[in-house]
Structure 1
Amino acid sequence: MYASHLILSADRAALPRFDFPSETLTLESLFANQPTDKFATGEAVFWEGDAASQVFQVAEGCLRLCSILPDGRRAIIGFVFAGEMLGLSCHGTYRYTAEVVAPARLRRLSRARLRAMEEGTEQLQSLLMARVFEEMTAAQQHIIVLGQLGAEERVAHFLISAARRTGADQKKPVTIELPMPRLDIADYLGLTIETVCRVLSKFKRDGLVAPRGRHALVLRQLSNLQDRAGEIDNDAPSERPVAVRSPAVWPA
């Protein structure tokens, strides 16, 4: 296992409460003054089964989250990009290994210190709970992707999800960075690398995407990609008929 230098001493005294500044608290400000560690491509930040003593924010780079199945196969359960948190929903031990795909800088915060901070403000509790809910929603959606969507739908959904994480205006062409190899994308989507390459080539021929440099793709027709993924842009009018459903009414 990775002998982490990040683990705090178990007998450390209880940490004090924290007083946050009056301005609006964000997760970015929470990590602003925390220690930063650099990791090279291929390094593990932590291994599956290590004590989950730290929570991280990715300041730069990209990581893949993976687990090794009993028969030796690798399952990739997600990717983490700059600005996102890592390890928040893990309690006791990390449930996956976090490996660096592109050179990364991570800010770290001990879970003990985070608990002390939570005691000081309800606003922080709400922020952290919202982030855990986001992880749960993403995991539930990924189950649907793997269980119900075809190959083209899966790849299109992956590209659309990457575009959303950039925060860019999705009514215009969006450039996304994909530093991970095609094999990683295939493992994440439950496809073969040949299938992923075939689908991406088809999207290029159809004018939906265009390569830019070694690791970037320009998504040229986002609405078309959303249709390929079985999704509709909620902010744009659609010509598809919309089924009207009555809201659920629960007994008093």
Structure 2
Amino acid sequence: MQNTIGSLRRAPVNVVAGGVPELCAQCDARHIGLCDALHDDDLHFLASVAQQVSIEKGRGFVTEGDPARQFFNINHGTAKLFKDLPDGRRQITGFVGAGDFIGLAANATYMFGAEALEPVQLCSFDRAELRAVFARFPAIERRLLDVASHELIIAQEQMLLLGRKTAVERVASFLDGWGLRVASCQGGATRLDLPMTRNDLAEYLGLTVETISRALATLRKQGVVAVGADHVISILNPARLTAIGQAEG
């Protein structure tokens, strides 16, 4: 991805009513992601070092092993994070959406790959340029520390999910977590339009596609979910779904 941060810094930032940068006005992640650490009046500085990028469905935008020169803030859409094994197998390690900040690699290279599951809009930040933002707005650096801490929690939960939970508990845990993600963006989460395929979900949960289907059938028979066409899942009993996902029986 070509770096055009320098030219973006010299260009004026267009604003809309209220002084909010045009880049940020319609962003799905304005109040749930990295930018939530800033007041509207300060957003223009962050916008001036951001490159807005559109990623087509199925296109990768992070390659494992490449130099980690950029951070990414997802504004719209969903992407999957993964690691490729030497024998050709792939392990999906997570799904990211609006408000998620990725690329916080401690090493000099990316430790994962990323691919859009649907059309994705994101802001790309050059690591060197972002240091100037940290100096002026310490709140952003604190937010990134929060993100790093949250990623550790997610990693621990994933280890528990893969190591100890049953297939039904894994699927319930995923649906419950995805519902919380949707609720944070839309204010409700009874209908989940999953952007990932059953195969993606199987790779993430460490199951087969057939086992995913059987687990969904079990949840459907228990009256917890309804399974529709085109990857649509309706949550009929959120409390029961949470209890199953947390292995509470």
Q: Say if 2:183 and 2:189, in contact at 8 Å, map to a contact too.
A: no
**1:213 Cα deviation from its structure 2 partner:** 5.2
Q: Does 1:5 align with 2:2?
A: yes
Quote the residue 1:42 is aligned against: 58
Q: Kindly report which structure 2 residues correspond to 1:35-184, keeping only aligned pairs within 5 A, or say none.
A: 35-167=51-183, 174-184=190-200
Residue 98 of structure 1 aligns to a residue whose secondary structure is: strand
**Residues 134 and 89 of structure 1: CA distance in aligned 2, closer, same or farther (over 3 Å):** farther
Aligned residue pairs, count: 217
Amino acid aligned to 2:93: I
Q: Residue 230 of structure 2 is aligned with which of 199, 208, 214?
A: 214
Aligned partners of 1:74 and 1:187 also within 8 Å: yes
Partners in 2 of 1:49 and 1:70 — Cα distance?
13
Cα distance in 2, alignment partners of residues 177 and 201 from structure 1:
17
**Deviations for 1:155-214, whole angstroms, at most 9, x for unmatched residues?**
110011111112359xx8622231110000001000001000111122122221123552
Which of 169, 180, 200 aligns to 2:216? It is 200
Q: Distance in 2 between matches of 1:38 and 1:99?
A: 12
Cα offset, 1:27, TM superposition: 1.8
d(CA) in 2 for partners of 1:144, 1:117:
36
Give the alignment's TM-score, normalised by structure 2.
0.78
CA distance in 2 between counterparts of 1:192 and 1:162 reads: 20
Paired AA for residue 36 in structure 1: Q
When the two chains are superposed, the root-mean-square deviation of aligned CA atoms in Å is 2.9
Task: Choose between structure 1 and 2: higher helix proportion.
Answer: 2
Larger displacement relative to structure 2 (116-125 or 175-184): 116-125
Match of 2:34 in 1: 27
The 1:199/1:114 distance shift into structure 2, 3 A limit, reads same
Work out the CA distance in 2 between the residues paired with 1:138 and 1:6: 30
Q: 1:89·1:132 contact (CA, 8 Å) conserved in 2?
A: no
Structure 1 CA distance for aligned equivalents of residues 114 and 184 of structure 2: 26
Per-residue CA deviations over 1:65-116 (Å, capped at 9, x if unaligned) read 1111122111110001122112124531110110111111111111111122
AA matched with 1:176: L
CA contact (8 A) 1:173 1:220 kept: no
Call closer, same or farther: CA 1:117–1:89 in 2, change over 3 Å.
same
**2:234 alignment partner, SS class:** strand
Determine if contact 1:173/1:221 at 8 Å carries over to the other structure: no
Partners in 2 of 1:153 and 1:117 — Cα distance? 42
Q: Of residues 193, 201, 213 in structure 2, which corresponds to 1:185?
A: 201
Residue matched to 1:14: none
Question: Sequence identity, in percent?
Answer: 33
SS at match of 1:41: coil
CA 168–86 in structure 1, closer or farther in 2 if over 3 Å, else same = closer
Cα 1:195–1:213 shift into 2, 3 Å = closer
Preserved contact between residue 64 and residue 80 of structure 1 (Cα < 8 Å): yes
Gaps of 5+ in 2: 7-30
